[in-house]
């Protein structure tokens, strides 16, 4: 018998006659949050990421200021008036860049989380990982209150990266310190 058949047979024997279950979903599907942008900004800030709340019309200008002299990876699909970047997909090119500028797929206010799904303006996964600086623009209408709404909006067929603050570790005495292998600086521009 193959391992597959044997494991499945053992499972069937093990659970034969076990009671059926049902899942109570009494938890909140969404939360009443009066100021989604404010809550999201506060929670991102808690992770020691840098947050800017900027009116939509001023976003291109602010991005240009923030990018400054940095040689940025800028994936395709972002507005034409945002800073231009250098191309680059190979690991060496990414490693040589100063940072990466992206949009996102959805953001979660309660947890201060940004989710990327490699869609337009988000690049491949490596592009937001290897450069040490990540500048991410979140549109106010992309922010949901809690995790259930975010899960509902996302497409599992796409590779997803959930980002909550800069890379960090709690491995030394269970105290969180920022800055390990992922981008050590996360800067978030919330476009309102």
> Which of 116, 135, 140 is closest to 192 using CA atoms?
140
First to last CA, the chain: 61
User: Are 143 and 191 contacting, i.e. CB atoms less than 8 angstroms apart?
Assistant: no
| Shortest CB 53 distance to another protein, Å | 20
Q: Quick one: 82 or 162, whose CB is closer to another protein?
A: 162
Question: How far apart are the C-alpha atoms of 186 and 183, rounded to whole Å?
Answer: 7
Binding to another protein, residues 46-85 (CB under 8 A): 46-47
Instruction: Tell me: does residue 170 bind another protein (CB under 8 A).
Output: yes
- Residue found under tokens 């190979």: 90
Instruction: Tell me: does residue 177 bind another protein (CB under 8 A).
Output: yes
Among 139, 162, 185, 192, the residue binding another protein under the rule CB under 8 A is 162
Q: Quick one: 63 or 130, whose CB is closer to another protein?
A: 130
Instruction: Number of residues interacting with another protein: please give it, by CB under 8 A.
Output: 72
Q: Which stretch binds another protein (CB under 8 A): 41-49, 52-60, 63-71, 137-145?
A: 41-49
In a 10 Å sphere around its CB, with 0-12 CB exposed, 13-18 middle and 19+ buried, how is residue 32 labelled? exposed
Instruction: Tell me: does residue 168 bind another protein (CB under 8 A).
Output: yes
- Residue found under tokens 């030394």: 172
Binding to another protein, residues 116-155 (CB under 8 A): 118, 124-126, 129-130, 147-148, 150-152
Q: Quick one: 23 or 80, whose CB is closer to another protein?
A: 23
- Please state, in angstroms and as integers, the Cα–Cα distance from residue 127 to each residue in 23, 107, 143, 159, 183, following that order: 39, 19, 23, 13, 10
């Amino acid at each position: 018998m193959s391992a597959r058949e044997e494991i499945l047979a053992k499972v069937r024997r093990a659970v034969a006659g076990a009671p059926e279950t049902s899942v109570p979903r009494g938890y909140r599907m969404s939360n009443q949050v009066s100021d989604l942008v404010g809550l999201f900004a506060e929670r991102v800030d808690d992770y020691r990421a840098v947050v800017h709340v900027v009116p939509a019309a001023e976003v291109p200008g602010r991005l240009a200021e923030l990018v400054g002299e940095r040689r940025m990876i800028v994936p395709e699909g972002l507005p034409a008036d945002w800073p231009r970047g250098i191309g680059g997909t190979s690991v060496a090119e990414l490693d040589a860049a100063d940072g990466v500028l992206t949009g996102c797929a959805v953001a979660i206010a309660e947890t201060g989380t940004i989710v990327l799904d490699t869609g337009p303006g988000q690049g491949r996964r490596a592009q937001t990982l290897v450069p040490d600086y990540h500048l991410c623009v979140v549109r106010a209408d992309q922010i949901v209150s809690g995790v259930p709404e975010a899960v509902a909006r996302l497409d599992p067929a796409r590779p997803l990266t959930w980002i909550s603050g800069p890379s960090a570790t709690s491995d030394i005495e269970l105290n969180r310190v920022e800055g390990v292998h992922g981008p050590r600086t996360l800067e978030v521009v919330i476009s309102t």
